[in-house]
């Protein structure tokens, strides 16, 4: 090869290397622009008497907003059956038994033996991973049917999804120290020091963050208290939409965008854990 040819060959190689580097950088930018995937750990697909969205519309909404997993519940449990039976590609459906037939059960389920029968009958379907979301306040958690429900969950390797105040969570844990609880709303406005104390006291307690106040300030910036809590307990938080009324379904995209806005302010590893990693870890074992 002549000197001139060698120079042309070297120049061509340099051009190829630069082109590959440019393409790789473009790929990185595309990946970086892809919204972080979210596991929605508090989704209701209620049928009373019909759902707000058809099943295909719900699945399309989840795909649109890159929701790749859901903790699925419904009132009654018909909506959950539909989500499980759909076997949608790219969507992990984790079904929980809702101890409600109608909305009125919210205030009486914990003292109604018929509801405990409902839980046991639903469990026979063979695919449930937990019980809830259910509502409890204070000493209503001391009821014998609540204890039976907690013991049933522990005996059958089920999680509990509890919309409960601090006192009720403490009582649930006293019922059975082996209980595993997803704490819906993480105490709403409970001070972060109390949230931190509960997480430290109960290693099998995870905080789900729908409707949780104080995470960001008025400008959308993570507050120092919550940044510290997320960095101290990166493996203990989950995200959720809580689609309990049609308005929450209508605002679904905004809810997910709100999460992504403050997740982007965290270290990427912590953000990924909260967005989807923790839920995946909880429900990784096959049944």
pLDDT the model gives residue 2: 55
Q: What is the CATH number of the domain that holds 248?
A: 3.20.20.140
Same domain membership, residue 18 and residue 145:
no
Same domain membership, residue 165 and residue 142:
yes
Is residue 162 in some structural domain? yes
Structural domains in the chain (count) = 2
Same domain membership, residue 70 and residue 45:
yes
Is residue 287 in some structural domain? no
User: Using an 8 Å Cβ cutoff, are 208 and 163 in contact?
Assistant: no
User: Using an 8 Å Cβ cutoff, are 71 and 84 in contact?
Assistant: no
Same domain membership, residue 110 and residue 3:
no
Same domain membership, residue 233 and residue 165:
yes
pLDDT the model gives residue 208: 98
Same domain membership, residue 161 and residue 221:
yes
Same domain membership, residue 51 and residue 185:
yes
Is residue 15 in some structural domain? yes
Helix 166-175 with 144-155: angle, nearest 10 deg:
60
Instruction: Mark the ranges of the chain whose per-residue pLDDT is less than 50.
Output: 3-4, 6-7, 9-12, 14-31
Same domain membership, residue 114 and residue 153:
yes
Dump pLDDT digits (tens) for 238-262: 999 999 999 999 999 999 999 999 9
Is residue 122 in some structural domain? yes
| CA-to-CA separations, 124 to 51, 118, 121, 145, 188, in angstroms, rounded | 24, 10, 5, 19, 33
Same domain membership, residue 217 and residue 127:
yes
Dump pLDDT digits (tens) for 209-246: 999 999 999 999 999 999 999 999 999 999 999 999 99
pLDDT the model gives residue 19: 41
Is residue 118 in some structural domain? yes
Predicted TM-score of the model (pTM):
0.88
Which positions ≥6 away from 92 have C-beta within 8 Å?
A: 39, 68, 69, 70, 280, 283
Same domain membership, residue 142 and residue 93:
yes
Residues spanned by the domain of 29: 1-34
Helix runs in the chain, H state only:
3-33, 55-64, 78-86, 113-123, 144-155, 166-175, 192-201, 224-232, 246-250, 252-263, 268-272, 278-282
Is residue 109 in some structural domain? yes
Is residue 217 in some structural domain? yes
Same domain membership, residue 135 and residue 266:
yes
Is residue 175 in some structural domain? yes
Same domain membership, residue 86 and residue 25:
no
Under DSSP, the state recorded for 216 is B
User: Using an 8 Å Cβ cutoff, are 58 and 51 in contact?
Assistant: yes
Per cent of the chain over pLDDT 90 is 85
């Amino acid at each position: 090869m002549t000197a001139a040819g060698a120079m042309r060959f070297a120049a061509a190689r340099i051009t190829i290397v630069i082109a590959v580097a440019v393409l790789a950088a473009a790929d990185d930018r595309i990946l970086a622009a892809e919204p972080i995937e979210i596991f929605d750990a508090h989704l209701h697909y209620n049928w009373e008497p019909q759902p707000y969205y058809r099943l295909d519309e719900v699945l399309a909404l989840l795909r649109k907003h890159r929701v790749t997993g859901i903790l699925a519940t419904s009132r009654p449990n018909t909506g959950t059956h539909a989500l499980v039976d759909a076997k949608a590609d790219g969507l992990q459906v984790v079904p929980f038994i809702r101890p409600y037939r109608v909305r009125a059960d919210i205030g009486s389920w914990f003292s109604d033996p018929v509801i405990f029968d409902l839980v046991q009958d639903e469990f026979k379907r063979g695919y449930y991973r937990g019980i809830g979301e259910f509502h409890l306040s204070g000493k209503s958690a001391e009821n014998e049917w609540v204890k039976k429900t907690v013991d049933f969950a522990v005996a059958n390797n089920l999680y509990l999804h509890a919309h409960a105040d601090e006192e009720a969570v403490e009582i649930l844990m006293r019922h059975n120290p082996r209980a595993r609880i997803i704490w819906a709303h993480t105490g709403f406005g409970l001070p972060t020091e109390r949230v931190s104390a509960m997480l430290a006291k109960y290693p099998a307690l995870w905080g789900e963050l729908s409707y949780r106040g104080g995470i960001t300030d008025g400008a959308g910036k993570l507050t120092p208290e919550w940044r510290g809590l997320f960095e101290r307990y990166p493996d203990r938080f989950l995200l959720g939409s809580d689609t309990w009324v049609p308005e929450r379904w209508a605002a679904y995209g905004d809810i997910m965008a709100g999460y992504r806005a403050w997740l982007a302010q965290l270290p990427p590893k912590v953000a990924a854990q909260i967005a989807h990693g923790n839920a995946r870890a909880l429900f990784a074992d096959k049944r």
